[in-house]
Amino acid sequence: MKTTVGLVLRAEAQIVLFWGPEFVALYNDAYAPTIGDKHPRALGRPARENWSELWTDLEPLLEGVRRTRKTFSAKDRPFYIERHGYGETVYFDVSYSAVPEADGSVAGVLCIVSETTERVRALAALRESEARLRDLNETLEERILERTRELERANDALRQAQKMEAVGQLTGGIAHDFNNLLQGIAGSFDLIRRRSGDPERVLRWSEAGLKAAERGARLSSQLLAFSRVQKLEIKPLDLSKTLSGFGAILRSSIGPEIRIHMNVSAEDLWILCDRVQLEMAILNLALNARDAMPSGGDLSIAATARHIA
């Protein structure tokens, strides 16, 4: 016993020695924090006195090692323990092995442990975030389509009264709702990145998710810009880039029944106009075209340079 305890006290690993038939607890300084306020009263006392809340779980493990002389080991083994004034489930990597006497009998059980509670909880939080993100991804398209159908119905009702203003306001509502969803996705990815249990895999996955959220945020910004009521801002505008970037808004506004074909010249097409007014005009034309095709169809939008004599 003296030799074994001497080895335990010098070790930096978390070790507790349960000695004799009553499993008297002898442990080193490294182990003490794992039992919280049980220390120091647990030192030198039978384990049943201070591990009473988990004794029905712990005793069979110790008795099994003492009886069979076989080492028991486990990864992330859960234990219910009261160590800070309240009960909680904690996790340990454990290795319990028999300590023999000179006559061959088992004198005690040497327990080398390493608490993994923080890692287990972080992985659980990661899995929860992944599940929440999957739910968002699965329902995002459906929500956008549903919002697009609130816009279509409202647009039909308001077509004859300030049509473009109503479209702008409703589009702004879609943008805010979409932006809230994107913030939830970005927040989940950010949490995964900061609390990663598997750094290489999680960081790569979280970066991809953040990029997707940023793309959605850019679409939301376009929608918000479209919905603003503001003074005309006449300035040079690259028509090719404007039409290419506006395609996503058109597709979400007119619904999936209409197939949009963009044929934009690769060369720079500069015009002098107000961007929001141009986009509103294009959307108005697209909505009229959609109404002319109740069963669905193809809508072509093209921009090319023409020389007028």
Could you tell me the two tokens for 31? 């182990």
| Per-residue pLDDT reduced to its tens digit, 149-201 | 777 777 666 655 545 554 554 565 566 656 665 665 676 666 676 666 777 76
Query: Which residue is it, tokens 């009263």?
Result: 41
Query: Which residue is it, tokens 């049509």?
Result: 163
Q: In a 10 Å sphere around its CB, with 0-12 CB exposed, 13-18 middle and 19+ buried, how is residue 290 labelled?
A: buried
Please answer whether residues 15 and 31 qualify as being in contact, where contact means their C-beta atoms are separated by less than 8 angstroms: yes
Please answer whether residues 214 and 191 qualify as being in contact, where contact means their C-beta atoms are separated by less than 8 angstroms: no
For 261, residues 6+ apart whose C-beta sits below 8 A from its C-beta are 298, 299, 300, 301
Distance of alpha carbon 254 from alpha carbon 283, whole angstroms: 9
| Phi/psi of residue 78, nearest 5 degrees | -80, 140
For 268, residues 6+ apart whose C-beta sits below 8 A from its C-beta are 238, 240
Distance of alpha carbon 8 from alpha carbon 3, whole angstroms: 9
Cβ neighbour number for residue 217 with a 10 Å cutoff: 16
- Strand 297-303, strand 258-264: pairing: parallel
pLDDT tens-digit profile, the chain (309 residues): 888 898 899 999 999 999 999 999 999 999 999 999 999 999 999 999 999 999 999 999 999 999 999 999 999 999 999 999 999 999 999 999 999 988 889 999 999 999 999 999 999 999 898 888 887 777 777 777 777 877 777 766 665 554 555 455 456 556 665 666 566 567 666 667 666 677 776 776 666 666 666 666 656 656 666 555 556 788 998 888 888 877 777 776 777 888 988 888 767 788 898 887 788 788 778 878 888 898 889 999 888 888 776
User: Which 8-state DSSP code applies to residue 256?
Assistant: T
Q: What is the CA radius of gyration of the chain?
A: 34
